[in-house]
Chains A and B, each alone.
Chain A
Amino acid sequence: MRPGSGIVPAVKDLLYRMADDALILGHRHSEWTGLGPVLEEDIAFSSIAQDKIGHAYALYQLLHELGEPEPDRIAFFRDAPQFRCCHLVEYPNGGYDFSLMRHFLYDVAEQCRYHLLESSRYEPLAQLARKVRGEIKYHVFHATQWVLHLGARGTEESHQRMQQALEQVFPLALGIFEPTEYDDLLAAASIFPGERPLQDRWLETIVPLIEQATLRLPALEAVVPAYGGRCGIHTEYLQPLLDEMGEVIRSEPEAEW
C-alpha cells in the first residue's frame, strides 16, 4: 500500500473504528477490576480488558505507521467527536448481565472480523489478525460459557436477566456494523469485505448459541440499530469516560513515564 494512494483514508478509517472499539470496551471492562462477582472471574475479566487495550495499542501503532500521531496521543488526547467507536462500547457497565451480553455480542463480531482480515491484502493487518487469534478465541469462549450458563443452566432469575440484557444490547450491537462510505473501496481492494457481510456472518454465529442458551433474539426488522458512532456522533457517556481515562496524562502531557 503506497502512502498517498486513495485507499489510505479508507484503511485509516477501518483501523480507527476497530481500535476505538477495543480501547473503549477495554476501559469499560477494566472498571470491573476489584468489583467482579467472584475472584476467579475478576481476574479473568480484568485480563480480557488488558488484552483489549493491547489490541487497541497494536492498531494505533499501525495508524502511526500510516502517518497518524503516537498511540498514546491518539488514545488520550482526542475528544468524543474524533472517536469512531460504536455506541455499544460507550454505555456504562450497569449490571454484570449487561456487561456479559455486550462482551458476548462484541467479541463474536470481533472474531468474525479478524477472521476475515486474516486474508486481507493489507498485510500488517492480516498479520495482526493472526497474532490475536488465540486471545480472541479465549474471549469468545469466556463470553459464550457465561451466556450459556446463565441462560440455560442457571436460575429463572439469571435467565430472565440475560434475556433482558439481550434485548437491551442487540440494537446497540447492530451499531458495530454501521455502513461507512469506505466499505466499497475496502472490498474492491480486497482489504476488508465490508460491514454487511460481517453482520451476516455474525448473525449466523450468534443465532445457534442464543438458541442453545434458551434466549430469544429480537426480530431484526423490529429493531433500530444504534448508528452514529462511526461518523463521530456519540452517546452522552463517551466524553466523561475520555475525561476520566485521560485525566492523569492530560494533567502533565510532557511527563516521562
Chain B
Amino acid sequence: MSSGASHHTSQHPKQVALQSLDPRVNRLGIPSELSDFAPKPLQDEWEPYEVFWRERPGEQPVHVGTVRAPDPEMALVFAKENYCRRGQTYSLWVVRTADIHTFHPAEIDIFETAPGKMYREPDAYKVVQKILRLKRGRQHDQEAKSTS
C-alpha cells in the first residue's frame, strides 16, 4: 500500500533548498530564496473563547486567557492542554467571547463614584481577601515542602 505521506517536494526545483540543523525542515524542501512569496488569502477565522480555570474546590474561577476554536468542544480540547497541562486543575470553563456582555470602553466612567464617601468603601473586605490569599499561599508552600 502507498504511504500516508504525501512527500513534500519543492515548488521551486531550480532553487537550492533551505538547509537547517532540523532534519524536519530539510525534508520540507523549502527554497532558500523566497522572493516570489505571494500573500495568502485571508481565511475564515475561528472564534475566540475566554478560558476560566479553577485550581481546587472552593477557589474562585480565574480568567487565564483565550483560545480560538471552531466550536465549544474544540475550545475545551485546546484550553485543557494549553492551560492545564501543568499543575492541578479542578474545573475548566470556556465561554464564547461574543457571549460576554460588558460596557463599551467609552462608558467606563460609569464606574466612577463621587468622592467623599469613605463610609461606603468596604476596605476591610480587601484586607480579608489578602489575608486569605496569604494563608492559602503558606499552606501550599507547606504542602509542597512535605511532598518534596
Contact = CB atoms under 8 A, between A and B. Distances in A.
Contact of B78 (A41, A92, A94, A237): A41
A119 interface: no
B6 to A, nearest CB: 6
A44 interface: yes
Nearest to A93: B5
A141 B74 CA distance: 10
B84 to A, nearest CB: 9
In the complex, which range does the number of interface residues on chain B fall in? 20 to 34
Contact of B82 (A44, A48, A93): A44
Interface string B1-44: 11111110000000000000001100000000000000000000
In the complex, which range does the number of interface residues on chain A fall in? 20 to 34
Interface in A145-202: 145-146, 148-149, 153, 165, 168-169, 171-172
Contact of B1 (A48, A146, A149, A171): A171
B67 A40 contact: yes
A254 interface: no
A12 interface: no
A165 B73 CA distance: 22
Contacts of A38: 46, 68
Given A94-B5, A168-B1, A44 B71 contact: no
Given A38-B68, A40-B68, A44-B82, A91 B5 contact: yes
Contacts of A142: 77, 81
Contacts of B95: none
B41 to A, nearest CB: 15
A98 B5 contact: yes
B23 A244 contact: yes
A249 interface: no
11 contacts: A35-B24, A41-B78, A44-B80, A92-B4, A92-B7, A95-B4, A98-B4, A145-B77, A146-B77, A172-B4, A244-B23
A207 interface: no
A149 B74 contact: yes
A223 to B, nearest CB: 10
B3 A91 contact: yes
A43 to B, nearest CB: 5
Interface string A89-133: 001111100100010000000000000000000000000000000
Interface string B61-89: 00000011111011001101110010000
Nearest to B80: A138
A40 B4 contact: no
Contact of B4 (A47, A153, A169): A169
